[in-house]
Chains A and B, each alone.
Chain A
């Protein structure tokens, strides 16, 4: 595709059913088109083919994540400029642009797998670590599209869109199995199988099973007899990905079940007592049809069916037991059709329509014995959206992308999400982009309808959608030596932000979600990377962020600076080392947390052509880092893991 409308994250779903048969058998224009898709050797490859995309996009590929010993998509995302992860020891969270409110579930970032939305229909969760149904080993690359993306993706794409592009069978042929053991009782088995026949048949299957006992934590604030909480940080996860491509058709099934013990005594549960746990399950299924370009037109259709279930178990008293349970369950089905048209010279037009229905979105809260139901809510949701985007080549160096999407969610007034990007490409090595966009997020069912007899939360059916306006500028530059530089500056304003508001001054007061926030996020991300001819590969980035509310106060869990980087050595006699580091500035919270530092190293030894052994050290400097506390717990801050070792053995058959 020379006219590059596809290049954003939704590229994945639009990729043609790989260039078919050999050129000699096909029409002249198909043969030329296939030729224009072939990669050229040279430094431009390192720009990850996204300088031309109508957005600022950061990418991390499989090769790098593999050498750094990544296991989760969050590990990959943490390498990208401007991203910071946090962990409440119940859930992980993804921060962008200095925005990562404690207790949020990353609902302001749209998370997608091969273009299919992951954010669920109850909490809007799209969480980056083991909550996600994809493991790092199944990822071909992760793309982070910076800034609002609602003009194509709809709700949730406020601060960015993460698209996880998974492997095809052709990318990883054969069976690969991996076993890991590590400290904190880590046991993990991961395997994947890929196969492809001809150009139009492809299968990929991945399976992951893991568990860990987690840390014994010294949490004196919780008032356990000796201040320790032991054996309550366990995590168990199983994930599956299966996808098949046959001709123009693609079918995929993706599922995860994650169980996490909560050591932080959330919501006033008993501290130091087992049994308070969270279980999250997601199933995503999709069938899509894309016959590729037929003359000037390309039509694609996808139908996806998704389900999500949350089960929370809370131990409030023992002997006699008082167990409270939270259950949330939702199902949603989405039908999306899209047409690309290139019949007008120097333009590429895209129009699309999306229908979504969620026949049930159930939330229930009850005490087990004596049985008492305090919440029983079930809501049906429907939405319809249409969108259009035009990419207009003004000259060989300038293009303008404009887009508009209208979403109508039942019960809310229509939301308009426009977007405009002007991109200037003076030559192959340099690009400038200016972008302005508006996005929205519909309040989710948890924010609107969760109410548990006045124990923790009061519902608010009157919530309105959040809004974001953002302007940003990006510069990318490539040197012949293989150095690539990037700079991205943004000014993002979020209005009617939905935030938890305590209804009294007491600690542990009942909360309600309200449209109160007005937040501005300003910042700059600078990045540099190089692949040297000798095989070294390194990246570094520096971010400055200023996230404030309308009173001018800094937001909680918002660092004002961040420095990160990684380096991968060439293979030297069967040995290869990858190392990554993160420095994150101090963050405000219930108690402010000082700056954190993390260093991970991954040393791999290739035993023979099929087997390798690797030693992974995370937090190698054994720094005691903390994340700001989340509202559900009485802790002042959440301690993070110290140094831990892991051994991976991998075999490919």
Chain B
């Protein structure tokens, strides 16, 4: 009796990942100066990725008092204003470009947790799971709720308290 959502059919991985990313956003808090309703909540994408199209459909949806907008970056250093940066593949210049800017870096490539991703989505046993690089998120000034952490598959962190 595997738990299934009532009436839910198997969904495409892309749309499910985008939906998970949207839900994950509810558990992340940015520094107060970044959470201003007039500027909305910007989801940025970098490079070609299969999830990009699905992320576009999140445009206009609410997160707290913010409204989601989606835009595409040509280079990592254009991240000003982004709250979330989706990176489908390793980007050599990513770390230096972001420094410790308050941007939540999200990916779904296997090795990306070691290469700057803070939330990394994977498919495991037919379901979406995610890993969290908690230290990197904290360095960037982001607060991730413990409610989210306990749903994670794996949380990487140095400090013991979540």
Q: How far is the CA of A195 from the CA of B129 in the complex (A)?
A: 32
Q: Does B126 reach chain A (CB closer than 8 Å)?
A: yes
Residue of B nearest to A46 (CB): B126
Most buried by A among B3, B120, B130: B3
Q: Is the CB of B120 within 8 A of A296?
A: no
Q: How far is the CA of A572 from the CA of B125 in the complex (A)?
A: 30
Q: How many A-B residue pairs have CB under 8 A?
A: 141
Q: How far is the CA of A157 from the CA of B128 in the complex (A)?
A: 32
Q: Does B23 reach chain A (CB closer than 8 Å)?
A: yes
Q: Is the CB of A36 within 8 A of B147?
A: no
Name the contact of B5 in the complex, choosing from A34, A50, A428 (C-beta under 8 A). Answer: A34
Known: A19-B3, A47-B126. A40 touches B154 (CB 8 A): no
With both chains docked as a complex, state the minimum distance between the C-beta of A115 and any C-beta of chain B, in angstroms.
Answer: 9
**Mask of A11-53 contacts with B, CB within 8 angstroms, 1/0:** 1100110110000000011011111111111101101011110
Known: A19-B4, A34-B5, A40-B11. A49 touches B125 (CB 8 A): yes
Q: How far is the CA of A170 from the CA of B8 in the complex (A)?
A: 12
Known: A28-B23, A140-B1, A345-B157. A36 touches B162 (CB 8 A): no
Q: How far is the CA of A177 from the CA of B2 in the complex (A)?
A: 26
Known: A49-B126, A343-B150, A345-B149. A35 touches B155 (CB 8 A): no
Name the contact of A346 in the complex, choosing from B2, B5, B154 (C-beta under 8 A). Answer: B154
Name the contact of B151 in the complex, choosing from A2, A7, A51, A52 (C-beta under 8 A). Answer: A2
Residue of A nearest to B157 (CB): A345
Q: Is the CB of B127 within 8 A of A38?
A: yes
Q: Does B13 reach chain A (CB closer than 8 Å)?
A: yes
Count A-side interface residues using an 8 Å CB cutoff. 50
Q: Does A199 reach chain B (CB closer than 8 Å)?
A: yes
For residue A35, which residues in chain B have a CB less than 8 angstroms away from its CB?
A: 5, 16, 19-20, 23, 128
Q: Does B124 reach chain A (CB closer than 8 Å)?
A: yes
Q: DSSP class of B's interface residues: helix, strand, loop or mixed?
A: mixed
Q: Is the CB of B11 within 8 A of A18?
A: no
Q: Is the CB of A32 within 8 A of B24?
A: yes
With both chains docked as a complex, state the minimum distance between the C-beta of A53 and any C-beta of chain B, in angstroms.
Answer: 8
Q: Does B12 reach chain A (CB closer than 8 Å)?
A: yes
Q: How far is the CA of A45 from the CA of B4 in the complex (A)?
A: 14
Q: How far is the CA of A2 from the CA of B130 in the complex (A)?
A: 8
Q: Is the CB of A36 within 8 A of B128?
A: yes
Q: DSSP class of A's interface residues: helix, strand, loop or mixed?
A: loop
Q: Does A342 reach chain B (CB closer than 8 Å)?
A: yes
Name the contact of B11 in the complex, choosing from A41, A114, A165, A345 (C-beta under 8 A). Answer: A41
Known: A12-B1, A19-B6. A38 touches B151 (CB 8 A): no
**Mask of B19-44 contacts with A, CB within 8 angstroms, 1/0:** 11001101100000000000000000
Q: Is the CB of A168 within 8 A of B1?
A: yes
Q: Does B153 reach chain A (CB closer than 8 Å)?
A: yes
Q: Does B52 reach chain A (CB closer than 8 Å)?
A: no
For residue A395, which residues in chain B have a CB less than 8 angstroms away from its CB?
A: 154, 156
Known: A38-B127, A343-B150, A395-B154. A31 touches B23 (CB 8 A): yes
Most buried by B among A36, A37, A170: A36
Q: Is the CB of B155 within 8 A of A49?
A: no
With both chains docked as a complex, state the minimum distance between the C-beta of B105 and any C-beta of chain A, in angstroms.
Answer: 15
Q: Does B67 reach chain A (CB closer than 8 Å)?
A: no
Q: Is the CB of B3 within 8 A of A40?
A: no
Q: In which size bucket is the chain B interface? A: 35 or more
Name the contact of B1 in the complex, choosing from A31, A50, A114 (C-beta under 8 A). Answer: A114
Q: Is the CB of B124 within 8 A of A428?
A: yes
Residue of B nearest to A196 (CB): B6
With both chains docked as a complex, state the minimum distance between the C-beta of B154 and any C-beta of chain A, in angstroms.
Answer: 4
Q: Is the CB of A37 within 8 A of B127?
A: yes
Q: How far is the CA of A396 from the CA of B118 in the complex (A)?
A: 13
Q: How far is the CA of A422 from the CA of B113 in the complex (A)?
A: 22
For residue A45, which residues in chain B have a CB less than 8 angstroms away from its CB?
A: 10, 126
Q: Is the CB of A427 within 8 A of B126?
A: no
Name the contact of B153 in the complex, choosing from A3, A40, A44 (C-beta under 8 A). Answer: A3
Q: How far is the CA of A396 from the CA of B16 in the complex (A)?
A: 20
Known: A37-B4, A45-B10. A52 touches B155 (CB 8 A): no
Q: Does B148 reach chain A (CB closer than 8 Å)?
A: yes
Residue of A nearest to B150 (CB): A342
Residue of B nearest to A18 (CB): B3
For residue B125, which residues in chain A have a CB less than 8 angstroms away from its CB?
A: 4, 7, 44, 47, 49-52
For residue A343, which residues in chain B have a CB less than 8 angstroms away from its CB?
A: 150
Q: Does B59 reach chain A (CB closer than 8 Å)?
A: no
Q: Does A393 reach chain B (CB closer than 8 Å)?
A: yes
Q: Does A408 reach chain B (CB closer than 8 Å)?
A: no
Q: Does A425 reach chain B (CB closer than 8 Å)?
A: yes
For residue B128, which residues in chain A have a CB less than 8 angstroms away from its CB?
A: 35-36, 38, 40
For residue B19, which residues in chain A have a CB less than 8 angstroms away from its CB?
A: 35
For residue B147, which residues in chain A have a CB less than 8 angstroms away from its CB?
A: 28-29
For residue B20, which residues in chain A have a CB less than 8 angstroms away from its CB?
A: 32, 35-36
For residue A198, which residues in chain B have a CB less than 8 angstroms away from its CB?
A: 6
Q: How far is the CA of A345 from the CA of B2 in the complex (A)?
A: 24
For residue B127, which residues in chain A have a CB less than 8 angstroms away from its CB?
A: 2, 36-40, 49
With both chains docked as a complex, state the minimum distance between the C-beta of B156 and any C-beta of chain A, in angstroms.
Answer: 8
| A-B pairs with beta carbons under 8 Å apart, 13 shown | A11-B1, A28-B23, A32-B24, A32-B26, A38-B8, A38-B10, A38-B16, A38-B128, A39-B4, A52-B124, A343-B150, A396-B131, A425-B124
Using a CB–CB cutoff of 8 Å, the interface residues on chain A facing chain B are 1-4, 7, 11-12, 15-16, 18-19, 28-29, 31-42, 44-45, 47, 49-52, 114, 140, 165, 168, 170, 198-199, 296, 342-343, 345-346, 393, 395-396, 425, 427-428
Using a CB–CB cutoff of 8 Å, the interface residues on chain B facing chain A are 1-6, 8, 10-13, 16, 19-20, 23-24, 26-27, 110, 113, 120, 122-131, 147-157, 162
